[in-house]
């Protein structure tokens, strides 16, 4: 079972447009100080960023690969072209986006965000922002939504410098260090005090070149009393060369601020997704994570909430679907520091076709976190006996005033339910897909309508294949 | 010393940010049976809980004197030791703690003396037979797996075992089967005959049948709006609470 | 003194949580105890089957080190204890085999027992440990239950504060075999306790009930694993704990459903009453599944007496301190109720 073979059957994500190599600018495979300098120069980094990258490279070389999770030996970092830049420049409207890129989006069924009059759309093509548009009403509130490159060289440079990789330090783990050295692209959001962004800010990422890695950095700062919803959608066509995604998301939630961070990840089935996401909440702040993980060959993903301020709160709602060839290790971490902090984790895992699913979490309640509450609820659904599903939740409680509850369940689709639905004329596959969608509904019902529809389509397709 | 066992004056109380009792006056003489009626949300249960000292509620102002003692200065268990008892609408479940052990611990705490097993057992048996209850019942874990009716019966059983001076029965008759109502009524009757004082909080009157009610208080929107004798129960049965508000 | 690596998680997690294993300081060296050095640690005479080949999946190491007859504490405990006493039980008995150990100051008690319960035989076995002064007790019981055998292992530990107690158990259950394990940890400042149930048999049943009370400076380190292999095998693990003062506890409890354990059911639950300001309550309750047609559940609660409960108790005249005592007794009673009357 440790040997996960390449599937032969074409999956719906296997399409790709024939992009020729000359359209791309590549750095040499492998990672040296020269490459880092080259990247930095190309990005027009300020001096401090170059130094930051070089230091991160040093840390990266010293650190070990994690020994407790899914194997990543299929990943040969020395042969990964870490930086690919399409020749397209920043554009201001949907019409200017090149047709082949538009086609790829369309085939992936990405909602027509522009037409839906949604807020700022920053669509990332490979490692670079190719499309960026911020709606006027968002700007009117003083909200800044831009790509990281612009933020770091523009008037928000100091703010970026004060926050960049402060929450996820480069020595956090090997892939955080790698990210620090080669990061490229991503989004920057700053919501000033009291700003209420009613429409979600959206950003699409995808990987679309053989051997390309993607290291986008997302930095969101929500100031006192502000309210933001950010949606990140990921998808990528499939290639035979191992792909690596080591993004980093840092979220700063100010006093009494509220941030909802939604993600649908649907990477191609050969992707190594080693992503790091972390949020810190000041007094009375709330972070809400909505997370759907469907794609990738291997995932390590545990969004972390640090509840620093008194009365701060975090909620994590996640669903992970692991099918054939997939080994997805996902979950959440919460660190309670402030008094009267509270956290809820609600996750669902679905496993089929020989996939491996691990729910992994830790809830830490520090001695200072008096009168805190934490609740963890995880459910696993096994679709067949070739698959594997593990639940590995850790709790570390260091104050007797805390109130902690945990519940986990594993099981299968009930035959009775399938029989009942089939007796009303549904096919077995349709009945099962419907039951699985219902099981995953805690996530889909938290998503905007078009994303929920996309997620249910994904479940349906995943249930019908194989 | 007041002639009343319970003397409440201008009581203002509620939960954080919301006043529920807005100046309640209530006097009850020892040995009497009083009924507290009122529509849903009027503050009936709040009053019971405030008398017993439920920390969920805060007393903002006013006084509550019970048997010569200022209740507002007393902790919940001190009030219980002073002779107060309240039946809970939702008694709590304790797996591993038998009802008989629970009652014995409560008695020991109340009297400050070791309980003589023989006498205790005898009293358990007597009380069981008075209430037509199976003795096996007291060996069960406290309220665990009890039906609604069984929980209410268990509360009445505790009332007779603990022998308080004053009992607040909070909607004890709601949602009960005929058998449970009979046992509750019987228990209440025994408690009264032994000189106990009663405050029965209810919005229906099934439990009051055959009971000698000395006074009725009607609470609407956090205030006692009408007081009278047993006949007031009949008036409310016929006409409801409408119209009482404006008097 | 030497070090023993023990209580390994069946599946690893983040190293920085320091839950993957524990390291105990033990008296002397492996195999130099009163039992003498160990013979071949492999299967005993009746134990002829090959050990199952464990699959290693994605860093999911089934066992830290192979152990022919797995236990909760692990392979190093076997080496440490040395020679094994063999107990054949081929007749049913209502009277339990009873071993009471009263240890004296300076004790270095080590004992390893293999118990073989014949087909259809019903028996029970009681071990009670009391001890004075300072010392160490290390005990392992491995039970092989043949078809339709029923066995109840009861362990009660009331050692003095300055004791280290290593408490190990492993059992293998064949078709329709039933194993009941009741463990009460009331003393010893340092406790390492492990149990491993290997449910090979069709319709085999395992049940573990554990009560523990941690007080000043004490350490309680658990590793309980129930592995389901047989069809319709059932397992229940219940932990009732109290942590006072600055007691530290780590509970590893795993339901491991192996491929082929069709219609297996597992249920684990831990309820911890936290009564010490500086206590440390750590838990990692795992469910591992590689079979579809199973059902597993885990629940964990941790906290003080709820305000509602406290109000209810106080309204009957029971003050907070007394209410806590009642709750502790209630928790212990839930476990000691599993012990048949007259045994202790």
Q: What DSSP assignment string belongs to B164-184?
A: -SEEEEESTTTT--HHHHHHH
* Nearest-angstrom CA–CA distance, B182 and B162: 20
Tokens of B115: 């309980």
The residue among A271, A301, A331 that closes a domain is A301
Q: Are residues A288 and A435 in the same domain?
A: no
Q: Which residues pair with C194 in a beta bridge?
A: C168, C223
> Residues B70-128: pLDDT tens digits?
999 888 888 888 999 998 888 888 887 888 888 888 888 888 888 888 889 999 999 99
DSSP 8-state code for residue B113: S
Domain ranges of chain C: 2-336
pLDDT value for A313: 98
Q: Check if C307 contacts B (Cβ < 8 Å).
A: yes
C-beta separation of A253 from A227 below 8 A: no
Alpha carbon of B217: minimum distance to chain C alpha carbons (Å): 24
Does residue A128 sit within a domain?
yes
Q: Describe chain B by its helix, strand, coil percentages, rounded to 5.
A: 40, 30, 35
- Contact assignment for C302 to A362 by CB distance below 8 Å: no
Among the partner-chain residues A69, A388, A406, the one whose CB lies closest to the CB of C289 is A388
Q: What is the mean pLDDT of chain C?
A: 88
Does residue A147 sit within a domain?
yes
Among the partner-chain residues C17, C292, C297, the one whose CB lies closest to the CB of A412 is C292
Least Cα distance to A188 among A238, A243, A134, A227 occurs for A134
C-alpha gyration radius of chain C: 20
Confidence of residue C212 (pLDDT cuts 50, 70, 90): very high
Confidence of residue A136 (pLDDT cuts 50, 70, 90): low
CA-based nearest residue in chain A for residue C261: A385
Cα separation of the two ends of chain B: 32
Handedness of CA B152, B154, B160, B164 (dihedral sign): negative
Per the listing, tokens 């006493």 go with C85
CA-based nearest residue in chain C for residue B82: C317
Q: What is the mean pLDDT of chain B?
A: 86
Task: Tell me how crowded residue C278 is: count the other CB atoms within 10 A of its CB.
Answer: 15
Q: Which residues pair with C298 in a beta bridge?
A: A408, C268
Q: What is the mean pLDDT of chain A?
A: 79
- Give the residue, A370 or B176, on which the prediction is more confident: A370
Least Cα distance to A440 among A463, A418, A422 occurs for A463
Choose from C238, C308, C316 for mutation: most chain B CBs within 10 A: C316
Q: Which residues pair with A260 in a beta bridge?
A: A229, A288
Least Cα distance to A246 among A177, A306, A308 occurs for A177
Alpha carbon of C27: minimum distance to chain A alpha carbons (Å): 30
Does residue A169 sit within a domain?
yes
Does residue A419 sit within a domain?
no
- Contact assignment for C337 to B109 by CB distance below 8 Å: no
Among the partner-chain residues B53, B86, B105, the one whose CB lies closest to the CB of C318 is B105
pLDDT value for C95: 87
**CB < 8 Å from C in window 109-128 of B:** 109-110
Contacts of A61 (CB under 8 A, 6+ apart): none
- Contact assignment for C297 to A401 by CB distance below 8 Å: no
Q: How many domains does chain B have?
A: 1
Least Cα distance to C172 among C154, C192, C193, C151 occurs for C151
pLDDT value for A43: 84
> Residues C176-197: pLDDT tens digits?
999 999 999 999 999 999 999 9
3-state secondary structure A91-136: ECCHHHCCHHHHHHHHHCCCCCCCCCCCCCEEEEECCEEEEEECCH
At C337, is the secondary structure helix, strand, or coil?
coil
Choose from C8, C10, C13, C273 for mutation: most chain A CBs within 10 A: C13
pLDDT value for C33: 67
Among the partner-chain residues B56, B85, B97, the one whose CB lies closest to the CB of C326 is B97
Q: Which residues pair with C139 in a beta bridge?
A: C111, C167
Does residue A458 sit within a domain?
yes
CA-based nearest residue in chain C for residue A377: C299
Among the partner-chain residues B80, B94, B105, the one whose CB lies closest to the CB of C315 is B80
Of A419-423, B203-207, C130-134, give the range with the top mean pLDDT.
C130-134
- Contact assignment for A67 to C17 by CB distance below 8 Å: no
Does residue B102 sit within a domain?
no
pLDDT value for C44: 47
CATH number reported for the structural domain that contains residue B13 in this entry: 3.40.50.300
CA-based nearest residue in chain C for residue B159: C316
Contacts of A67 (CB under 8 A, 6+ apart): C12, C15, C59
Does residue A257 sit within a domain?
yes
Does residue A149 sit within a domain?
yes
> Residues A300-339: pLDDT tens digits?
999 999 999 999 999 999 999 999 889 999 999 999 999 9
Does the pLDDT at position B136 exceed 80? Answer: yes
| Residue B136 CB-density burial (10 A; 0-12 exposed, 13-18 middle, 19+ buried) | exposed
Q: Check if C304 contacts B (Cβ < 8 Å).
A: no
- Contact assignment for C292 to A400 by CB distance below 8 Å: no
Does residue B40 sit within a domain?
yes
Q: How many domains does chain A have?
A: 2
- Contact assignment for B96 to C311 by CB distance below 8 Å: no
Task: Tell me how crowded residue C18 is: count the other CB atoms within 10 A of its CB.
Answer: 11
Alpha carbon of B108: minimum distance to chain C alpha carbons (Å): 9
Alpha carbon of B107: minimum distance to chain C alpha carbons (Å): 8
Q: Check if B174 contacts C (Cβ < 8 Å).
A: no
> Residues C79-138: pLDDT tens digits?
888 888 888 999 999 888 899 999 999 999 999 999 999 999 999 999 999 999 999 999
Contacts of A137 (CB under 8 A, 6+ apart): A119, A199
> Residues C294-341: pLDDT tens digits?
999 999 999 988 888 999 999 999 999 999 999 999 999 999 989 887
CA-based nearest residue in chain C for residue A350: C292
**CB < 8 Å from B in window 256-285 of C:** none
Does residue A70 sit within a domain?
yes
Least confident of A130-139, B195-204, C74-83: A130-139
Average pLDDT over residues A374-385: 91
> Residues A19-34: pLDDT tens digits?
444 444 444 446 788 8
- Contact assignment for C331 to B96 by CB distance below 8 Å: yes
The residue among A246, A271, A301 that closes a domain is A301
- Give the residue, A62 or A337, on which the prediction is more confident: A337
Choose from A73, A325, A409, A410 for mutation: most chain C CBs within 10 A: A410
Among the partner-chain residues B55, B94, B109, the one whose CB lies closest to the CB of C317 is B109
- Contact assignment for C312 to B52 by CB distance below 8 Å: no
- Contact assignment for C307 to B80 by CB distance below 8 Å: no
Q: Check if B104 contacts C (Cβ < 8 Å).
A: no
Domain that holds residue A161: 21-301
C-beta separation of A207 from A243 below 8 A: yes
Does the pLDDT at position A103 exceed 70? Answer: no
Among the partner-chain residues A69, A380, A393, the one whose CB lies closest to the CB of C289 is A380
State the ipTM, two decimals: 0.89
| pTM higher than the cut 0.90 | no
Does the pLDDT at position A267 exceed 60? Answer: yes
- Contact assignment for B106 to C317 by CB distance below 8 Å: yes
CA-based nearest residue in chain A for residue C275: A400
CA-based nearest residue in chain C for residue A370: C277
Alpha carbon of C5: minimum distance to chain B alpha carbons (Å): 36
Q: Where are the alpha helices (DSSP H) in chain C?
A: 75-81, 307-315, 320-336
Domain that holds residue B201: 4-90+165-239
Cβ neighbours of A388 in C, within 8 Å: 57, 288-290
- Contact assignment for A394 to C297 by CB distance below 8 Å: no
């Amino acid at each position: 079972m440790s040997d996960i073979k390449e599937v032969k059957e074409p999956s719906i994500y296997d399409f790709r447009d024939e992009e020729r190599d000359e359209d791309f600018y590549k750095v040499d495979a492998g990672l040296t100080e020269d490459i880092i300098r080259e990247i930095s120069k190309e990005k027009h980094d300020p001096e401090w960023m170059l130094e930051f990258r070089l230091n991160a490279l040093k840390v990266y070389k010293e650190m070990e690969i994690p020994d407790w999770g899914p194997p990543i030996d299929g990943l040969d970092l020395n042969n990964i072209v870490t930086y690919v830049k399409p020749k397209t420049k920043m554009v201001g409207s949907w019409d200017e986006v090149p047709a082949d890129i538009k086609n790829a989006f369309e085939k992936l069924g990405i909602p027509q965000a522009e037409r839906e009059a949604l807020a700022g759309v920053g669509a990332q093509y490979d490692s670079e922002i190719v499309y960026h548009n911020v709606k006027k009403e968002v700007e009117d509130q003083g909200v800044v939504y831009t790509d990281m490159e612009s933020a770091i060289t523009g008037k928000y440079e100091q703010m970026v410098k004060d926050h960049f990789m402060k929450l996820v330090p480069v020595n956090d783990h090997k892939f955080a260090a790698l990210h620090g050295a080669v990061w490229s692209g991503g989004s920057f959001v700053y919501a000033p005090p009291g700003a209420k962004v009613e429409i979600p800010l959206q950003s699409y990422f995808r990987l679309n070149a053989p051997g390309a890695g993607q290291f986008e950095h997302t930095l969101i700062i929500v100031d006192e009393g502000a309210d933001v919803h950010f949606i990140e959608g990921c998808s990528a066509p499939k290639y035979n060369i191992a792909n690596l995604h080591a993004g980093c998301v840092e979220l700063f939630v100010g006093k009494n601020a509220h941030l909802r961070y939604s993600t649908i990840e649907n990477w191609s089935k050969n992707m190594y997704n080693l992503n790091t996401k972390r949020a810190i909440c000041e007094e009375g702040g709330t972070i809400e994570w909505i997370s759907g993980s469907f794609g990738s060959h291997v995932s390590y993903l545990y969004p972390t909430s640090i509840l620093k301020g008194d009365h701060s709160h975090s909620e994590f709602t996640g669903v992970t679907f692991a099918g054939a060839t997939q080994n997805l290790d996902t979950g959440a971490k919460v660190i309670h520091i402030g008094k009267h902090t509270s956290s809820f984790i609600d996750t669902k895992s679905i496993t089929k076709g020989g996939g491996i699913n691990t729910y992994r979490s830790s809830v830490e309640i520090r001695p200072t976190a008096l009168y805190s509450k934490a609740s963890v609820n995880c459910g696993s659904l096994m679709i067949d006996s070739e698959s594997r599903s593990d639940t590995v939740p850790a709790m570390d409680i260091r104050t007797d005033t805390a109130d902690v509850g945990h519940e986990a369940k594993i099981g299968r689709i009930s035959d009775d339910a399938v029989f009942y639905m089939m007796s009303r004329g549904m096919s077995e596959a349709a009945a099962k897909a419907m039951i699985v969608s219902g099981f995953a509904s805690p996530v889909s019902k938290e998503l905007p309508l078009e994303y929920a529809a996309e997620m249910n389509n994904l479940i349906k397709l995943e249930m019908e294949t194989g | 010393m007041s002639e009343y066992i319970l003397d409440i004056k201008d009581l203002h109380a509620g939960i954080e940010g919301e006043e529920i009792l807005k100046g309640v006056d209530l006097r009850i003489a020892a040995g009497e049976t009083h009924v507290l009626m009122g529509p849903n949300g009027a503050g009936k249960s709040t009053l019971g809980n405030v008398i017993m000292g439920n920390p969920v509620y805060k007393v903002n102002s006013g006084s509550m004197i019970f048997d010569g003692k200022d209740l507002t200065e007393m902790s919940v268990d001190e009030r219980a030791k002073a002779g107060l008892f309240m039946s809970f609408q939702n008694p709590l479940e304790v797996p591993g703690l038998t009802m008989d052990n629970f009652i014995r611990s409560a008695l020991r705490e109340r009297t400050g003396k070791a309980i003589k097993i023989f006498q205790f057992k005898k009293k358990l048996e007597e009380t069981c037979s008075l209430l037509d209850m199976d003795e096996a019942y007291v060996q069960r874990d406290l309220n665990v797996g009890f039906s609604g009716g069984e929980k209410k019966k268990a509360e009445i059983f505790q009332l007779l075992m603990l022998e308080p001076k004053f009992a607040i029965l909070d909607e004890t008759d709601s949602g009960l089967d005929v058998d449970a109502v009979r046992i509750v009524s019987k228990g209440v009757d025994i408690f009264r005959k032994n000189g106990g004082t009663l405050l029965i909080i209810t919005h229906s009157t099934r439990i009051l049948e055959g009971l000698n009610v000395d006074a009725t208080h009607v609470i609407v929107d956090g205030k006692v709006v009408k007081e009278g004798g047993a006949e007031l129960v009949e008036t409310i049965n016929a006409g409801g609470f409408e119209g009482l508000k404006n008097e | 003194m030497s070090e023993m690596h023990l209580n390994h998680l069946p599946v690893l997690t983040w190293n920085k949580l320091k839950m993957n294993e524990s390291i105990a300081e033990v008296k002397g060296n492996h195999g130099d105890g009163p039992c003498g050095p160990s013979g071949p640690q492999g299967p005993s005479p009746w134990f002829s089957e090959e050990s199952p080949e464990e699959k290693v999946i994605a860093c999911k190491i089934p066992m830290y080190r192979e152990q022919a007859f797995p236990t909760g504490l692990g392979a190093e405990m076997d080496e440490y204890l040395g020679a094994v006493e063999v107990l054949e039980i081929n007749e049913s008995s209502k009277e339990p085999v009873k071993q009471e150990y009263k240890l004296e100051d300076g004790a270095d008690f080590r004992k390893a027992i293999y118990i073989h319960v014949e087909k259809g035989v019903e028996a029970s076995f009681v071990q009670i440990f009391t001890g004075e002064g300072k010392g160490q007790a290390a005990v392992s019981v491995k039970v092989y239950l043949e078809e339709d055998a029923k066995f109840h292992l009861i362990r009660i530990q009331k050692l003095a504060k300055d004791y280290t107690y290593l408490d190990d158990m492993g059992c293998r259950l064949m078709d329709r075999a039933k194993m009941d394990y009741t463990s009460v940890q009331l003393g010893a400042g340092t406790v390492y306790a492990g149990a491993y149930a290997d449910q090979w048999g069709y319709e085999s049943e395992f049940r573990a009930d554990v009560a523990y009370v941690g007080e000043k400076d004490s350490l309680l380190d658990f590793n309980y694993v129930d592995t389901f292999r047989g069809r319709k095998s059932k397992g229940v693990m219940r932990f009732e704990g109290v942590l006072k003062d600055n007691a530290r506890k780590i509970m590893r409890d795993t339901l491991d459903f192996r491929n082929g354990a069709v219609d297996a059911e597992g249920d684990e639950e831990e309820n911890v009453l936290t009564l010490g300001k500086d206590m440390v309550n750590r838990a990692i309750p795992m469910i591992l599944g590689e079979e579809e047609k199973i059902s597993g559940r885990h629940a964990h609660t941790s906290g003080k007496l709820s305000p509602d409960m406290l109000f209810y108790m106080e309204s009957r005249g029971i003050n907070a301190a007394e209410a806590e005592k009642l709750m502790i007794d209630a928790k212990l009673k839930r476990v000691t109720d599993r012990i048949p009357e007259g045994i202790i």
